Structure 1
């Protein structure tokens, strides 16, 4: 099992200010989180960046907010040096992508299906809206859409927050 402590704010959010929740994934085009940061700044809001790790499942939430998870694959064995590696890499990637933006932000690590995690964090944060990137171009993006459906579609049909979709141009996706 892996424990994931809550991540601290980068910058100071204005008390009572709205939040914008943005869905992020590893190696996503930086255009998505930067567009969300621009939108948050324009609204006077803080930015909450959420990655829902599809390879892990929820076990428990400790009183201090620490998330306890376990791999979905029963053959995967957590190793001491492997705990939190993907989470740490995602947090570092966000730090690079948001460097120089004048907006308070923090990273939230979640597990499971992305639209459910984004909707849950949106409710918890009292978010004004959720921002997500369009599906990745190419065969991989098409297959993900075919198998799992559209995260934007799930969000738009299952919760009351506005959903803003940021297009990812094929030449910008790594």
Structure 2
């Protein structure tokens, strides 16, 4: 099992009002987070950057907010260093993208199906909207869409918040 402590807010002041929730994934175009930050700034809102790790499942949440997870694959060796490194690396990438931004933001690591987790965190944070990137270009993005469906489509049909789709930059 792996434990993931909650990440603190960056920037001042910590927002009291609505938030913009943005889905982040490893290797995603920086344009998605940058556009979400631009929208949050225009709305005087905080930015909640969410990575929902679909390869892991929820075990428990400690009173301090620490998330306890385990791999879905029973044959996977739960190497804490690798799991924590992936989370820390993505959080650091988000921090690099938002460096110099005047928008208060925080990184949230969660597990499970992305559209469900984005909708849940949107509701919990009183979000004004959810921002996600379009599917990746090419065969890999098409296959992910074919197998898992569209996160945007799932969100648009299952919860009341507006969904903004940001095109990923094409190479």
Scaled by the length of structure 2, the TM-score of the pair is 0.96
1:131 — aligned with what?
131
Q: Provide Cα deviations, 1:133-172, integer angstroms capped at 9, x if missing partner.
A: 000000000000000000000000000000000011312x
Q: Give me the whole-angstrom Cα distance separating, in 2, the residues matched to 1:80 and 1:31.
A: 30
Q: Give me the whole-angstrom Cα distance separating, in 2, the residues matched to 1:142 and 1:83.
A: 27
Scaled by the length of structure 1, the TM-score of the pair is 0.95
Q: 1:28 to 1:15 in 2, by over 3 A?
A: closer
Q: 1:135 to 1:83 in 2, by over 3 A?
A: closer
Q: Give me the whole-angstrom Cα distance separating, in 2, the residues matched to 1:29 and 1:15.
A: 26
- Return 5+ residue gaps in structure 1 as ranges: none
Q: 1:84 to 1:97 in 2, by over 3 A?
A: same
Q: Provide Cα deviations, 1:60-91, integer angstroms capped at 9, x if missing partner.
A: 11111110000111111123433411111110
Q: Give me the whole-angstrom Cα distance separating, in 2, the residues matched to 1:64 and 1:105.
A: 19
- Return 5+ residue gaps in structure 2 as ranges: none
Q: Provide Cα deviations, 1:1-53, integer angstroms capped at 9, x if missing partner.
A: 00001000111345432100000001100000000000100110000000000
1:44 lines up with 2:44 in the alignment: yes
The 5 Å alignment of 1:18-37 reads 18-37=18-37
Q: Give me the whole-angstrom Cα distance separating, in 2, the residues matched to 1:149 and 1:51.
A: 18
Q: Give me the whole-angstrom Cα distance separating, in 1, the residues matched to 2:132 and 2:125.
A: 16
